[in-house]
Amino acid sequence: MSHNKEMCNTVSDHVTEFRLIHSDCTWSRCTTDCLDVEGQLSDAKLYESSTEHGVTWTVVSPIIFTYRIIQCERLLDASNDTLLFGHVSNPTEALKDDTKGVKRFIVIDEQVNDLYGSQVAAYFEARRVIYKILPLPMTEENKSMLLVSRILEEVHKFGIDRRTEPIIAIGGGVCLDIVGLAASLYRRRTPYVRVPTTLLAYIDASVGAKNGANFANCKNKLGSYVPPVATLLDRTFLLTLPRRHISNGLAEMLKMALMKHKGLFELLENEGQRLLDTSFQASDTTEKVHKDPASVSTRLAIESMLEELAPNLWEDELDRLVDFGHVISPELEMKTLPTLLHGEAVNIDMAFMIYVAHEKGFLTVEEKSRIIVCMKGLELPVWHTDCTLGLIQKSLNERLKHSAGRLRMPLPTGLGKARIFNDIEDSILCQAFKKWCDEQRAEY
């Protein structure tokens, strides 16, 4: 017996299961013993039960999202169809079916607009697209519903088809999050495309389904789970990224390495400085591209991230390895705005947790040292004066409150291995905090 039917039986023993069939423009319910009726069979089900108090209908309607993550080059080259049609399986048919002209609404981070705005405009003009580019200040301090409303007002004025004309977001994680939230709200769900221009967004914010805005001085307190129809990845954008922002993105890459990929950790350990120096640009020679540290590391980071996200896109399961570095960092990041970047706050969180894992006996002294040295080699902070024991305890209490009564703390149990823990003793946290401060404070 299915879980859904069992749920119905808690109300009544008299449960009828119906399937839904579409025929002659009409959906009709049909019991499971008469499914030979011609028509389209839905995956949805209805369960009807009766009690002395009335009738109950239970609806089970699966939702399936399909989205693409496309690595490409020369995204803004007018001969490249990806920016316009990377989200559809047959671009030729999409063009053939479009008799009124192609329209695109583009939201772009204003700093990115200064660098690439003219190229974006030239692309759409060369493709004879009806377009509007909206540059906005996409900072963590501005990441609010006011920004979402501004986008929605402009989208409404411009006018787009809510199924065939995706909104395009070009920028870092804040831009992608805000535009994703706006798109999920406009006419209850409008397709959108992510074009990340920072390393952090490239390997993290752009590949999942989450979007959001800050609220009540809490990071991403408002949001939804609606993935883009496509994420378009072009590492060329990273060439104009400040070195600090390359380092910032490396924190999220290191997170996945520590949680589940020892080979990626060793690559970052050995090639981190080279990745920083080259802004993640691949070698020129074709035979070296697939072995180039930039190509290999980004691919491994994205693949390991997708392995964790795809089966749990809506976070029905709260035990998530990708939450490593995100237990304390939201509180720390909001407290220190605009001093710390997101990845920097995440790395400080991870550094403390490395000490916790060592105190628990999960990491050897050598492993702990290798990880901290690697972090410093990636030019990431491993300690901060505002990350006090009080802030740590407050963050853990908030996590406990909002995680169904369980702490759910991801910790490494070796290089590239991890588990979720719910029982970290206060004494362990205090010991780890003291050693962390004693060993790292001197450098700051």
- Identify whether residues 215 and 250 lie together within a single domain: no
Provide the domain limits for residue 40: 3-60
Query: pLDDT tens digit string along 99-158?
Result: 568 999 999 999 999 999 999 999 999 999 999 999 999 999 999 999 999 999 999 999
Q: Is the pLDDT of residue 303 over 90?
A: yes
As annotated, the active-site residues are 210
- Identify whether residues 35 and 11 lie together within a single domain: yes
Q: Which CATH number fits the domain that encloses residue 170? A: 3.40.50.1970
- Identify whether residues 291 and 435 lie together within a single domain: yes
CA distance 326 to 145: 23
Task: Look at residues 44, 60, 76 and tell me which one is the last residue of a structural domain.
Answer: 60
Tokens at residue 135, please?
Answer: 């540059």
Give the residue from 394, 376, 363 showing the smallest Cα distance to 439: 376
Query: pLDDT tens digit string along 15-25?
Result: 999 999 998 89
- Identify whether residues 237 and 198 lie together within a single domain: yes
- Identify whether residues 88 and 230 lie together within a single domain: yes
What's the pTM value of the predicted model, to 2 decimals? 0.89
Instruction: Please count the other Cβ atoms lying within 10 Å of the Cβ belonging to residue 127.
Output: 16
- Identify whether residues 52 and 148 lie together within a single domain: no
Q: Which CATH number fits the domain that encloses residue 348? A: 1.20.1090.10
Q: Kindly give the residue spans of alpha helices, DSSP state H, lying in 44-193.
A: 82-85, 91-97, 110-126, 145-158, 173-185
- Identify whether residues 199 and 112 lie together within a single domain: yes
- Identify whether residues 210 and 347 lie together within a single domain: no
- Identify whether residues 147 and 174 lie together within a single domain: yes
The total number of structural domains in the chain stands at 3
- Identify whether residues 267 and 405 lie together within a single domain: yes
Query: pLDDT tens digit string along 174-223?
Result: 999 999 999 999 999 999 999 999 999 999 988 999 999 999 999 999 99
Contact 58, 8 (CB under 8 A): yes
Task: Look at residues 60, 92, 107 and tell me which one is the last residue of a structural domain.
Answer: 60
Task: Look at residues 241, 275, 300 and tell me which one is the last residue of a structural domain.
Answer: 241
- Identify whether residues 270 and 288 lie together within a single domain: yes
Q: Is the pLDDT of residue 3 over 90?
A: no
Angle subtended at Cα 345 by Cα 340 and Cα 349, rounded to the nearest 5 degrees: 155
- Identify whether residues 56 and 114 lie together within a single domain: no
Query: pLDDT tens digit string along 361-391?
Result: 999 999 999 999 999 999 999 999 999 999 9
